[in-house]
Amino acid sequence: MTVASYIFSIVASLLALGVVVDRLRRRRLRERHAVWWLVAGVVALLISVFPQITAWAADLVGVEQPANLAFFASIVVIFLVCVQFSAELTDLEDKVRTLAEEAAMNDLRLRDLEGRTGPASGSTEASRHHG
């Protein structure tokens, strides 16, 4: 590894960690979403500072090229992030559907009440129909 690539990898790792921490600080990223990114950033920084860790880990698991292990680990982290986001997206879709159904039911109840008692005074819906 050349000195330039060594310095570049450290700077890139610090930059990635800095972006995640900045997003957390500005409340643009929630802690539960940042966990995987923080773990990946810290591991990347450790590997950048101590590149022999990658060779040691590759030997430990029987991978011939340390870079292949790094790529595989990166893919695993991205996969885990995608699974986490997919699960949260599913929950949010269910909540949106439930809220839409509740809003529709409330709208029907309001129309039913207006139909029984006449238009409510000051209602924008009522003033459009009768005004």
Q: How far, in Å, CA of 93 to CA of 76, rounded?
A: 25
What residue has token string 């773990």? 39
Using the predicted structure, report yes or no on whether residue 129 has a pLDDT greater than 60.
Answer: no
Q: Is the dihedral of CA 10, 11, 12, 18 positive or negative?
A: positive
Q: What percentage of the chain carries pLDDT values higher than 90? A: 69
Residues 6+ apart with CB under 8 A from 54: 47, 66, 67, 69, 70
- Total-model pTM: 0.67
pLDDT in tens, 19-49: 999 999 999 988 888 888 898 899 999 999 9
- What six digits make up the tokens of 22? 């900045």
pLDDT in tens, 80-105: 889 989 999 999 999 999 999 999 99
Nearest to 35 by CA among 96, 72, 88: 88
C-alpha radius of gyration, the chain, whole number? 27
